[in-house]
Amino acid sequence: MSPDQIAEFRRSMGRFATGITVVTTKLDGIDHAMTANSFTSVSLDPLLVLVCVERETRFHEAVIETGTWGVSVLAADQRRHALWFATRGRPLEGQFMQVPHVAGPRTGAALLVGAVTTMECRTSTSWQAGDHDVLLGEVLELGPVDLQADPLLYWSSEYRTVGPEVPSFRSGTSDDRSGIST
Ligand SMILES: Cc1cc2nc3c(=O)[nH]c(=O)nc-3n(C[C@H](O)[C@H](O)[C@H](O)COP(=O)(O)O)c2cc1C
């Protein structure tokens, strides 16, 4: 891939709005973490989610070894945590000192206090995909959901939160592009 193609791809994918998570794992008493927006749900039966982890990250080495991980879906007021856990080269020891968290009951992975929701997972399969590994995770435990908290979103290289709801389409109008007949 040429640098131009990569930049173009980044620009395109940057228009795809996502939530923001911090994925975590605990290895030999050390909490590892990484900001990730590649998190998505995969299956309801069984409960499966996935996250893509760049093989060059420190988190990659740790999570491949433990095979278990936590996910904290960040709230709008947790932007500083997203920035921190995306900072390459930050110290591993003490990286959670300013970040309120609890240890997940099933995996010991750090779960951020104040997150919209959390979950704990065990890697059921992983495979190499270019410079990332895709980790498919079986959900072991779901944390509480804060229905009041606004989520932290990422769009066009910026952190955002939700805006007004899109008005619902009235069937038969020019707005109705769903193609679904009611
Ligand atoms: C908004 C945002 C989303 C990110 N999503 C991912 C992701 O899904 N997978 C990934 O491997 N890195 C992702 N990163 C980069 C990692 O957060 C970054 O490389 C981090 O420093 C890795 O931590 P570590 O070196 O301690 O493992 C993202 C960064 C940002 C700012």
Spans of the chain below 70 pLDDT:
171-182
CATH number of 19-156: 2.30.110.10
- Which of 24, 150, 143 shows the shortest CA–CA distance to 84? 24
For residue 18 and ligand 1, the question of a CB distance below 6 A is answered with: no
Distance from the alpha carbon of residue 33 to the mean position of ligand 1, in angstroms: 9
The confidence score (pLDDT) of residue 172 equals 61
The confidence score (pLDDT) of residue 181 equals 46
Best mutation site among 22, 26, 35 for ligand 1, i.e. most ligand atoms within 8 A of its Cβ? 35
Burial letters for 30-50: b for 16+ Cβ neighbours within 10 Å, e otherwise?
ebbbbbbbebeeeeeeeebbb
The confidence score (pLDDT) of residue 79 equals 98
The confidence score (pLDDT) of residue 169 equals 79
